[in-house]
Amino acid sequence: MTARALSLSLAIIMGGMMTMAGAVTPLAAQEPDLPPLPGPPGSAPDAPPPRQLPKSERQLINECRQAYEVRDYAAAEAACLPIAEDGNVLAQRTLGMIYLSGYGAFRPHVQAEKWIRKAAEAGDAQAQFTLGTMYLHGVGVTKLDKTAAEWILKAAEQRHQEAQDTIAYMYLVGQGVPRRNDLALYWYKRAADAGYPKSQYNLGVLYHKGQAVPRDESQALYWIRRAAANGYPDAKKFLEDVDPRRK
């Protein structure tokens, strides 16, 4: 083969290789599509949010009471209502007190009576006394002295001291119950013996005036001094005016 022919052959071969090289698909385009590697746990944008555990009844009643104490009635209602509907007596009573304060746009006193009654019927002494005083003063309900006495007596029988003092007065004057000096004295004495200052003072005044009991100044001063020692203002004033030891 002459030098010219050899040169021509090489040119043809090299041209063919260049043509083949131009037709070859790049390597990267020949690799199969692979799914992206997973990121760290929880990094996926569509990962569900962590599940929120429901609040316990104790948590809700604590939130309810704390909000009520600072008069955040909206928060108190939100915490109390679910467990009140489930029968929690403390939540029922607190919810009633929220509405009794006037909170709520829809007939709050009607709602107050509803929830306080539920707690009272379940045996809660504070709710029984509250419901009784609502009937005694006609707050949110029709004033009914007999109904008031029935609920206040139920609370008094459960050692609710303010109820004991109230039912004692009702027996003393015959409000909603027959006038009974013996029962007035009994309930004043129960509350006074338990350390309720108002009843201690009231019992002392009965002895001082000789009302429902024979007059007895030594008993009067004994009970009024106990009330004063417990911080009752009227008892302190009485002693300043009457007690010879202070003159």
242 confidence band (pLDDT: 50, 70, 90): confident
**pLDDT above 90 covers what percent of the chain?**
68
Give the Cα-Cα-Cα angle 196, 198, 202 (nearest 5 degrees).
120
Burial of 101 (0-12, 13-18, 19+ CB in 10 A): middle
Whole-prediction pTM: 0.74
For residue 220, give the H/E element and its range.
Answer: helix 217-229
Residue of 155, 223, 166 whose CA lies nearest to 192: 223
For the chain, give the mean pLDDT.
83
Q: Which residue has the tokens 């509250």?
A: 130
Residue 186: count other Cβ atoms within 10 Å of its Cβ.
Answer: 14
Tokens of 46: 């569509």
> Residue 163 in contact with residue 152, Cβ under 8 Å?
yes
Residue of 43, 87, 40, 39 whose CA lies nearest to 61: 87
Q: How far apart are CA 149 and CA 99, in angstroms?
A: 23
Q: How far apart are CA 30 and CA 8, in angstroms?
A: 35
Contacts of residue 111, defined as CB under 8 A and 6 or more positions apart, other chains included, come to 95, 96, 99, 104
pLDDT digits (tens, 9 = 90+) for 124-180: 999 999 999 999 999 999 999 999 999 999 999 999 999 999 999 999 999 999 999
Contacts of residue 86, defined as CB under 8 A and 6 or more positions apart, other chains included, come to 57
Predicted confidence at residue 10, as pLDDT, reads 38
Predicted confidence at residue 157, as pLDDT, reads 98
End-to-end CA distance of the chain: 152
pLDDT digits (tens, 9 = 90+) for 38-64: 545 554 455 555 554 467 888 989 999
